[in-house]
Structure 1
Amino acid sequence: MSKPFRLIASTGIHKGDREYQQDQVALLSHPRFNGCVLGVVADGMGGRSGGRKASDQVMMTARQLFERYSPDSDDAAAMLRNLVEEAHIVIRLTAISSEQEPHSTIAAFLINPRGDCHWIHAGDSRIYHFQGGRLVCRTMDHSYVQALVDRGEITEAEANTHPHSNILVGCLGAESDPPVTPHLINQLQPGDVIMACSDGVWHYFSPNELASVIEALSPREATEFLIDKARARSRGGGDNLSLAIVKIEALVEEKKPMRLVSA
């Protein structure tokens, strides 16, 4: 970035109306590089223990790769791609040893100190980029209903209420390799907001509603509001909820007081 900035961030997680929590969410600040942040949301699937094992593997892999990452010399897009591929392999190995079928989505974004932002996702956990109270871009789900939307057979609104809205066509831990869909924001600016969340959150909001909440509230207030509102709208049938929000703010330089010099 050309001007000084700061990152204001928050995470939120709730088991919703499920008996157990299979989502995982993390915002990691790099131990050696100030302003380098990794956000990860993983929505585990495959039964109580299987889903949690899968999302745990995603988080463990993310922490290990991020600790070794250097924004000065390493390729951010390659690191995120390695995260998806390595987590997928570990989850597959877990399935063999435990005789379960663990799967997980992933939505991960990496912000470098110089202000570029990279993201990657697999499944139906999403990443949103907001600017000035409007949606700039979001990930496209690797799901059956998203394919229907892409073909023009149903609308975005109809996708939310479709009886097969929970069917994924790609995720971590499946027999086929997970889809790897990268995205690059060349330069974040003050007023930009990056949000990653599981389907337990985004399912209950339109993009305009999310943009309005993100613009009006701080990241901490927004995470609390969105979880509470999603739980209310789910009417007792809600999924696990997890989200991470990072807002870019400009640093206001303090003006030095004027000194009066007598002649």
Structure 2
Amino acid sequence: MTVRTAAASHVGRIRANNQDSGYAGTHLFVVADGMGGHAGGDVASALAIQAIAQTDARFDTAEEARDALEQALLTANGELAETVFEHPELTGMGTTVSGLVRVGERMALAHIGDSRVYLLRDGEFTQITKDHTFVQRLVDSGRITPEEAAVHPRRSVLMRVLGDVDISPEIDTDVLETMPGDRWLLCSDGLSGYVDDERIAEILTENADAEAAVDALIQASLDNGAPDNVTVLVVGVDDDESSGISSPIMVGSAAKPLSFRPVEEKRASKSLPQLLLHPLKPTPDPEDEHFEPESEGFLQELIAEDRRRKNRRRATWSVGLVLIISLIAAALTAGYQWTQTRFFVGEVDGRVAIFQGVQQNAGPIPLSSVYQETGIDLMALTPFSRNAVEQTISAVDLVDALAIIERLRREAER
């Protein structure tokens, strides 16, 4: 039988520990991406998932499920703050969370951070959530394009997360319609950052079995370098309100015993094939992802930084363009000067003449000119010589051209 719902998590090719966590249950589906490096990203995502998993229950309405899911995220936020108070070495840890609760033909959603929820319906693939990152703010304001955001050096700076940074973080919530045949995808940015939406949609379409789809999506991320952890949940919607899972699935850090001891980060060395790959965004250091308070000051700093970067890029392109034009001009000048060392014999107004240059033209530009008119009448030559002059006679140099003229002159006088 085709599996409707599946979940899996992979540490990726660079990290030593998995800071992602995921949960797929009867009604609840959620993914979390921890931040804080080896000091607590795995703890943050695991604690959040374990707290939010209590929401895997039947609700009377989708609105009730939405409110419960939002409250579960806030409860998890409080637990993370308490954990940091008890373990100061975990200060700064946090996690993104994106979750769904199915209630009949509706989905309740709660989201914070840059993990994502997608929907595939009748061949149309749509991103449901919006990233809570500063580069997304730049995209929304029209300052950069989504393609520029994918490779922006500050793409991993988060504006909103669960953790010890905000007592009451703002959480996006919504209630969405769903129907049989829909496929929902929840993933950390280990997938969305390295595999483009078109390829993700292709994999979901090609693999009707959820387990096969999850495996193929993770493999696609690994094939593109996948320096970050990768967590993927695929949820298929059928007439049955359940997910089709016999028992809840926990993946990533949430599936392991919780440990507050820091993990020594041992990065795997990248092989040559990995270095030659071109993922959606360049391979970052795993610690690059971090939280910055949502402030106008930091946004303005980011805008100013972008402006400086664009000015440097523009200056680099300008210098490069000037160099290219200079090289082309130098090559053309050298080429033209070479042509002026060549000579040939031809005719002008029925008379023999010596030309300086070559017989060809560079488009509308002639590469030869009359060097000397000899006064030899073309009709005084034999038919063979006359035809040769009309077709032009190449000379090695000026001395050779003068010798050819002397032979033709003697021929004309006979």
Provide the residue aligned with 1:91 in structure 2.
Answer: 80
Provide the residue aligned with 1:78 in structure 2.
Answer: 67
- Superposed displacement of residue 213, structure 1: 1.4
The one-letter amino acid paired with 1:201 is L
List aligned pairs for 1:172-191, cutoff 5 A: 172-176=162-166, 177-186=168-177, 188-191=178-181
**Secondary structure of the residue that 2:163 maps to in structure 1?**
coil
**Secondary structure of the residue that 2:170 maps to in structure 1?**
coil
Alpha carbons 1:123, 1:142 under 8 Å: kept: yes
Aligned residues: 233
Provide the residue aligned with 2:197 in structure 1.
Answer: 207
Indicate which of 114, 118, 125 corresponds to 1:124.
Answer: 114
**Secondary structure of the residue that 2:162 maps to in structure 1?**
coil
Identity of aligned residues (%): 28
The one-letter amino acid paired with 1:20 is N
What CA distance in whole angstroms lies between the structure 2 residues aligned with 1:137 and 1:125? 11
**Structure 2 residue 212 is matched with structure 1 residue 229:** no
Alignment deviations for residues 82-102 of structure 1 (CA, whole Å, 9 cap, x no partner): 111001111011111101222
**Structure 2 residue 3 is matched with structure 1 residue 14:** no
- Superposed displacement of residue 249, structure 1: 4.0
- Superposed displacement of residue 165, structure 1: 0.8
**Structure number having the greater helix percentage:** 2
List aligned pairs for 1:1-263, cutoff 5 A: 8-17=4-13, 18-29=15-26, 37-66=27-56, 69-72=57-60, 75-99=64-88, 100-101=90-91, 102-112=93-103, 114-176=104-166, 177-186=168-177, 188-217=178-207, 218-234=209-225, 238-249=227-238
What CA distance in whole angstroms lies between the structure 2 residues aligned with 1:201 and 1:15? 12
Which structure 1 segments of 5+ residues have no match?
Answer: 1-5, 30-36, 252-263
TM-score computed with the length of structure 1 as normaliser: 0.83
Alpha carbons 2:116, 2:189 under 8 Å: kept: yes
Say which one has the larger Rg: 2
Please provide the CA RMSD for this pair: 1.9
- Superposed displacement of residue 156, structure 1: 1.1
Alpha carbons 2:31, 2:98 under 8 Å: kept: yes
Alignment deviations for residues 25-68 of structure 1 (CA, whole Å, 9 cap, x no partner): 11012xxxxxxx111101111132511111111111112233xx
Alpha carbons 2:94, 2:164 under 8 Å: kept: yes
The one-letter amino acid paired with 2:17 is Y
What CA distance in whole angstroms lies between the structure 1 residues aligned with 2:174 and 2:184? 12
- Superposed displacement of residue 207, structure 1: 2.0
The one-letter amino acid paired with 1:95 is V
The one-letter amino acid paired with 2:40 is G
What CA distance in whole angstroms lies between the structure 1 residues aligned with 2:123 and 2:164? 37
Alignment deviations for residues 161-201 of structure 1 (CA, whole Å, 9 cap, x no partner): 11011100000014223221112213x22221111100001
Alpha carbons 2:28, 2:55 under 8 Å: kept: no
Q: Which runs of 4+ in 1 moved over 3 A?
A: none
Greater relative contact order (CA < 8 Å, ≥ 6 in sequence): 1
What CA distance in whole angstroms lies between the structure 2 residues aligned with 1:161 and 1:50? 26
Provide the residue aligned with 1:257 in structure 2.
Answer: none
